[in-house]
């Protein structure tokens, strides 16, 4: 075991027993590959199989979630973010649990730090996602284990990019550029978001699960990248592609995500977006 707040060695990762819930998803698969590469035992049950609730699950990373389709599947979204989690907290046997939430909960606030007061409105369908994630967070952060060695933490995950990413704004832009399909942005070109490389996420989440000091932590790059920056990168690889931007379109404000906790605990320095995204696009262009 390594000192709390330091990056664990490969030997420490390999010595732990891991359960990845949502292991068939984008982030879950990357976590499984990262851990298996160092010789760790990884258990990734399907959603339909709940027999694992009777097992000793070791260190759990809860990566189950609904993203792009949450508006059309509200009940499935709540079940994924809250229902199964509640059952796990009541019945599960584990050494630690790391629940993956989202930096999307910072919408509408001035600062993206873990202590910020958040804004949600149950009358707004877009807020169903945030409300369900926050309820999951609250269950975790207010959980009191009979065994104090079992620690429950929350990681608010930013926009993750990498090979084979699921449907998202970034994926839609990449697909349009590769297929030379003209596109018109509905947002101001200077609208910006925080993006983090999948490889960074796969390194950080097991470290937080084993050695994270804070029970709530942002997992992000801390770098805002504008739509205009993304379009320029895409046009470098597919110069024939046309993407129209309208300076009169709404400028959507997203707060900068504070990653001070990550830097303090692990000395984290994110892969610069321009570097990681260009590497991804280069592999796609060659393919």
Q: What is the reported pLDDT for 103?
A: 97
Per-residue tokens: 231: 């379009």
Place of tokens 């018109």: 184
Q: How many residues can be counted in the chain?
A: 287
Q: What is the reported pLDDT for 5?
A: 59
Instruction: Of 143, 57, 62, give the one whose Cα is nearest residue 99.
Output: 62
250 occurs within a structural domain: no
Q: What is the reported pLDDT for 1?
A: 38
27 occurs within a structural domain: yes
Q: Tell me: the pLDDT tens digits for 132-190?
A: 999 999 999 998 766 555 689 999 999 999 999 998 999 999 999 999 999 999 999 99
Q: What global pTM score does this model have?
A: 0.93
172 occurs within a structural domain: no
286 occurs within a structural domain: no
164 occurs within a structural domain: no
Q: What is the reported pLDDT for 30?
A: 97
Q: Residue 37 belongs to a domain with what CATH number?
A: 3.40.50.720
Q: What is the reported pLDDT for 2?
A: 43
Whole-angstrom distance, CA of residue 86 vs CA of residue 81: 9
Domain count, the chain: 1
Instruction: Of 25, 69, 3, 57, give the one whose Cα is nearest residue 202.
Output: 25
SS3 147: coil
Whole-angstrom distance, CA of residue 77 vs CA of residue 61: 18
Domain membership of residue 152 as a residue range: 10-159+198-222+257-272
44 occurs within a structural domain: yes
14 occurs within a structural domain: yes
74 occurs within a structural domain: yes
Q: Which residues of the chain have pLDDT under 70?
A: 1-5, 67-72, 145-150, 287
């Amino acid at each position: 075991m390594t000192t709390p707040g330091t990056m664990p060695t490969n030997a420490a990762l390999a010595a732990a027993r891991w359960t990845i819930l949502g292991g068939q998803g984008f982030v879950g698969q990357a976590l499984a590959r990262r851990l298996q590469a160092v010789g760790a035992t990884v258990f990734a049950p399907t959603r339909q199989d709940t027999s694992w609730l009777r097992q000793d699950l070791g260190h759990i990373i809860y990566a189950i979630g609904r993203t792009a389709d949450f508006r059309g599947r509200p009940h499935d979204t709540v079940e994924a973010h809250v229902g199964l989690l509640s059952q796990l907290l009541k019945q599960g046997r584990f050494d630690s649990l790391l629940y993956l939430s989202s930096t999307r909960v910072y919408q509408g606030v001035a600062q993206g730090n873990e202590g910020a007061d958040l804004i949600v409105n149950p009358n707004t369908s877009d807020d169903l996602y945030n409300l369900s994630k926050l309820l999951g967070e609250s269950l975790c952060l207010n959980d009191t284990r009979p065994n104090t060695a079992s620690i429950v933490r929350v990681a608010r995950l930013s926009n993750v990019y990498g090979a084979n990413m699921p449907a998202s704004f970034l994926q839609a832009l990449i697909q349009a550029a590769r297929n030379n399909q003209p596109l018109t942005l509905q947002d101001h070109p200077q609208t910006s978001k925080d993006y983090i490389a999948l490889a960074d996420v796969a390194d950080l989440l097991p470290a937080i699960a084993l050695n994270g000091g804070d029970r709530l932590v942002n997992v992000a790059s801390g770098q805002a990248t504008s739509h205009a920056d993304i379009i320029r990168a895409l046009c470098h690889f597919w110069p024939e592609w046309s993407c129209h931007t309208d300076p009169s379109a709404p400028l959507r404000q997203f707060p900068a995500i504070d990653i001070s906790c990550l830097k303090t605990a692990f000395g984290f320095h994110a892969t610069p977006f321009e570097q990681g995204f260009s590497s991804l696009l280069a592999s796609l262009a060659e393919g």
